Chain A
Amino acid sequence: MTPELDPVIHAQARLRVVVTLNALGEGDSITFPGLKDLLGMTAGNLSVHLGKLEEAGYVEIVKTHRGRTPVTYVALTRRGRLAFEEYTAALRTLLDTTSAPPSGA
C-alpha cells in the first residue's frame, strides 16, 4: 500500500531522528547527547538507528575532541535532507490520492 515511502526513514524512531536533524540549519550539527535528550531515546537505541541512517548516507557522524573529552556530532547530509523532502512529498501525495480511511496497522 505504501511502496514509494523510503523504508529507511519510514520506521517511526528513525523518522523522529530525521525530522529533528532536519530542523537544524544547513551546515549545523548536534552533539550525540544533545540529540539523545531531545528525542528521549536511550543511547543504545539511538546508536542503532543512527548506524542505519549513516549506512544509507543520510546522516554524517563526526567524532572530534572538545579539549580532552571526545565529542560526537551528528548532522543530516544533503542526501538525507533530500530523502526527507521526497518522503514528505510522497506522504502528501499518498494522502491526497487515498482520501479513504487510513491503511495503517
Chain B
Amino acid sequence: MTQRHDEPQRWLDDPKHVEWIFRVLVGACVVLVGIDFFLHRHAHFAWEAIPGFYGIFGFIAFWVIVIIGKNLRKILMRREDYYDR
C-alpha cells in the first residue's frame, strides 16, 4: 500500500476496518438466507423455492465467470502494443 506520510490515515487504510466490512457482508448474506425460510415467494420455476437459491446462484456464477475470464487470458492476451507494431 502506497500510504503517503504527509497526509492523515483514512479509515479504510486500516486493514482491520477492511476486515470489518467483510464480516458485515458475510452477516448480511446469512441474514438474507435466513429470511428466505420465512418468506412466501411467487415462483415461476420450482427451484426458486429452495432457500438461498439466488445467493448460491450469484456466488457460483460470479466465481465461474472470473475463473473462465482468467483462463481466457491464455488464449486472448497479447502485448499492450500488439496492434501498434
| A and B physically associate | no
Chain A residues at the B interface, C-beta cutoff of 8 Å: none
- B residues sitting closer than 8 Å to A (CB atoms) are none
